[in-house]
Structure 1
Amino acid sequence: MAGRIVRWGAALALGAVWWWSVLRLALVPDAGVLEGAVAAGGWGLSLLPVHCVPKARAVGAVGSDRWRESWQEAWSWRRGTGGGRARGVR
């Protein structure tokens, strides 16, 4: 429970700082580099792939031990030789 409160508190605090910097950039004529850096950094963080899942839970992900086999199969399909297995069947 305490960890959840800390995470929410940190998210709210960082969100408030980001909004402060964006509003200061928009409304105050003497806003500077600090506000711009905070606003750009917060926007950049929103581009991170936070909705990724571990490879073990991802549907259709190829394990690290099967990369060579996967590449060989894809290359054989590209050349038109067909490969061993039918495409999409495992």
Structure 2
Amino acid sequence: MTGHIVRRGAAAGLGVLWCWAVARLVYAPDAGVLEGAVAAGGWGLSVLPVHCVPKGDAEGALQAGRWRRAWNTGRGGGRAAGR
């Protein structure tokens, strides 16, 4: 439970830091390299595909060609062909 709280706190703190940097870039005429680096780094982390896994390792992964077989079954005289 403690790890969960720490992760949420760290995410919230880093989110606030990123918002501060973006606000300084937009509104402060003296914003500099630090604010730009924090804003660019936060944006870069947001597009990082950290949740990607190989399809074969994914829980509930579908077999290759599953949709093609289902589509062809419907055309080939199965129950859907009579409609």
TM-score after normalising by structure 2? 0.66
The SS at the match of 1:17 is helix
Deviations 1:23-75 (A, max 9, x none): 000000000000000000000001111221354236258xxxxxxxxxxxxxx
- Greater helix share, structure number: 2
> For residue 31 of structure 1, what is the aligned residue in structure 2?
31
* TM-score (structure 1 length as normaliser): 0.62
Does 1 or 2 have the higher relative contact order (CA < 8 Å, sep 6+)? 2
| Separation in structure 2 between the aligned mates of residue 57 and residue 21 of structure 1, nearest angstrom | 36
What amino acid maps onto 1:15 in structure 2?
G
Calculate the aligned-residue CA RMSD, in Å.
2.2
Secondary structure of 2:39's counterpart equals helix
| Equivalent position SS for 2:23 | helix
Please tell me the residue identity of whatever aligns with 2:58. Answer: R
Letter in 2 for 1:28: A
Gaps of 5+ in 1: 62-86
Q: Which runs of 4+ in 1 moved over 3 A?
A: none
Q: Aligned residues: percent identity?
A: 64
Count residues with an aligned counterpart.
64
Corresponding residue of 1:46: 46
